[in-house]
Structure 1
């Protein structure tokens, strides 16, 4: 039985993701810092960005956990099917 292919995260992909996240967050932070607005409004925007980032991490974790549950249940179903197929003898005659 062959194992299903799992996507492999390379170091380059990981680095690109981290750098992209850093650039995006840094750009928004600089934009908020240099906006010509009242400090209270600037603080509100900063907190809103932080809330958005933490919510995105939470959502990503939920999606990952859901995907793992589906993957585990799929592997259990596959194991049951493999067991049934290994025990099945098409040449066996019942009652003899």
Structure 2
């Protein structure tokens, strides 16, 4: 029996849906900020805040994934106790 972990892959449809959903959400947010009846500095602040939120969400997802990958590599079900 092999003790190498099986790498789970997302389907192409799930990947496409994720990219489309992200694109629609970012476009809708950009249009909403652009059409907002507020001063330019308020719209700029909101745009920067959205970009910061998106980058921090990507960073958090990467950190969580890296930690899970490290734990999966450290786990050995056949290791003697």
Question: Which TM-score band (shorter chain)?
Answer: 0.7 to 0.9
1:12 maps to 2:13: yes
Unaligned runs of 5+ in 1: 85-96
Unaligned 5+ segments in structure 2 are: none
- Taking structure 2 as the reference length, the TM-score comes to 0.87
Q: Over alpha carbons, which structure has the higher Rg?
A: 1
What count of residue pairs does the alignment treat as equivalent?
A: 80
CA RMSD of aligned residues (A): 1.9
Shift of 1:79: 4.6
**Bigger RCO (CA 8 Å, 6+ sep):** 2
Please state how far the C-alpha of 1:33 moved relative to its aligned partner: 0.3
Output the TM-score relative to the length of structure 1: 0.74
